[in-house]
Chain A
Amino acid sequence: MSGHPSRDDLAAFAIGGLDEREQRSVAEHLEGCDRCAAEMRERLAPAVAVLAESVEQVEPPDSLRESVMATVHQEAAAESPLAEGARSDAEAPARRGWRAWTPAVLMRPAVGVAALALVVAGLIGYVVADGDEATTETVPLAESPAGVGGNLVVDRDSATLHMHGMGQLPEGDVYQVWVADSAGVQPSAAFVPHEDGTATAAVPEAAGDVTEVMITHERRAGQEQPSLERTVFGAKL
């Protein structure tokens, strides 16, 4: 476009009223013209926003929210390297046990030693001494990209999971802890987080020979299989 678009053209552009070619041309002009961009941002865009708000408000169906959020949760889980491992293994049912949950980052040497070292460093436990005798081991669990993390505190014959960053749940839903050992996968505690996103759950199974801990969002407690598409956290021990 040579020169600036006219005020008529800018107004028509703002409401999508130009022909396709002109619409593109003005859009390109705005990319490089501060003056016209300011006119658009400060004068026209607010008027267009008001126009968009001017329609009678209609209540959307509940199914819309459910369907949008199902996709969002599924894709968020897929973005997480931990859940990526869970998902890819869920697609290969012959594999069982902890390998089924191992983060992809740990399963693919090609990802690199540095990444592996980072994850492992986050998982190395430290020992809290009680007098001369070490009685409690605290295993930090590396925080997920969504900010979910915590510690697993293991005594001789018990273990407690302390989590933070857990999102609030719809009424009736629970977070379900799953543990894996060489024999396979089993459900452990189910819990609902506090308002501040923290939660504490007794997971006695983790005091044994457990190799992984995972948390899924379930519609109700008592599930026998994890809903892998709603994985919110996972860590190798």
Chain B
Amino acid sequence: MNLSELQRLADEDLMPRIAAKDPLAFEVFYDRHGGAAFSLAYRIVGNRQAAEDVTQEALISIWRSGARFDRARGSVRAWTLGIVRNRAIDLLRRDSGRAPKLALDSEELLEKRPADELTEVEALRRETAREVRGALSDLPDEQSRVIRLAFFGGFSHSEIAQMLNEPLGTIKGRMRLGMDKIRASLAEGVYE
């Protein structure tokens, strides 16, 4: 199968070819998800070199274990970003002084691809990401905060409880309420 045929395949159909060690299929996979993977890693670890290392590790692990993708558990995109997130959090914990980057994104540091190079899909994804950032900031501060601390900072609910001097149950409740609201926005088609 040549490049243009591979580019027409859905993610889920690309994965068996990656599991069969087709490098061209992985090239297509990289072009679809490499940017989002790097962006997430960068958001978590907070510097470009570490983000590059994390993304490389995560993507190579996917290349080596593509057969483990299970479409019944979710999309390729979500699976990929989950792996990147875990690797990035591992790095934070390994380096522990663990100084996760918890400040808001430093917009001035971000390099953006010129708009005219964006594919329609990528442009849509970025638009979606902007809306989600909006939705996160629409959450009550206390819910948004615990979700950010857990997901991007790698802190557990008990660490967050200690940090914020709040009861454990309160922290978990805020996580659930926040996730429920994001889910409800999804159901209303805010991000789709």
Contacts and interface: CB of A to CB of B under 8 A. Distances in A.
Interface of A: 6-12, 14-20, 23, 37, 41, 43-61, 63-65, 67-69, 71-73, 75-76, 79, 145-147, 165-168, 193, 195-197
21 contacts: A11-B179, A12-B176, A17-B150, A18-B157, A41-B74, A47-B186, A50-B191, A52-B151, A53-B125, A56-B129, A57-B112, A58-B35, A64-B38, A69-B26, A71-B60, A79-B21, A146-B20, A167-B2, A167-B23, A168-B3, A193-B2
Q: Is the interface of B mostly helix, strand, loop or mixed?
A: helix
B26 A16 contact: no
B22 interface: yes
Among B2, B48, B74, B89, the most chain A Cβ lie within 10 Å of the Cβ of: B2
Given A16-B86, A53-B125, 17 more contacts: A8-B169, A11-B176, A12-B150, A12-B172, A16-B150, A23-B156, A48-B82, A54-B136, A55-B43, A56-B129, A57-B36, A58-B51, A58-B111, A59-B112, A60-B34, A60-B52, A60-B55
Nearest to B109: A58
Interface string B7-41: 00000000000001111101100100011111110
B179 A14 contact: yes
Contact of B157 (A7, A12, A69): A12
Nearest to A11: B176
Given A54-B136, A60-B55, A20 B2 contact: no
Contact of B179 (A41, A44, A52, A60): A44
A71 B63 contact: yes
Given A65-B30, A69-B27, A16 B151 contact: yes
A68 B112 contact: no
Interface of B: 1-4, 20-24, 26-27, 30, 34-40, 42-43, 48, 51-52, 55-56, 59-60, 63-64, 72-75, 77-78, 81-82, 84-86, 89, 105, 107, 110-113, 125-126, 128-129, 132-133, 135-136, 146-147, 150-152, 154-158, 160, 169, 172-173, 175-176, 179-180, 182-183, 186, 191
A41 B150 contact: no
Q: Is the interface of A mostly helix, strand, loop or mixed?
A: helix
A200 B152 CA distance: 52
Contacts of B60: 68, 71-72
Given A49-B78, A67-B56, A75 B64 contact: yes
5 nearest A-B pairs in the assembled complex, by CB-CB distance: A197-B2, A17-B150, A60-B38, A54-B132, A11-B176
Contacts of A196: 2
B34 A64 contact: yes
B183 A195 contact: no
A196 B135 CA distance: 44
A217 to B, nearest CB: 10
B176 to A, nearest CB: 4
Among B40, B126, B129, B175, the most chain A Cβ lie within 10 Å of the Cβ of: B175
A69 to B, nearest CB: 6
Given A12-B175, A46-B186, A41 B1 contact: no
Among A49, A52, A61, the most chain B Cβ lie within 10 Å of the Cβ of: A52
Contact of A49 (B81, B84, B156): B81
Among A20, A23, A47, the most chain B Cβ lie within 10 Å of the Cβ of: A47
Nearest to B37: A60
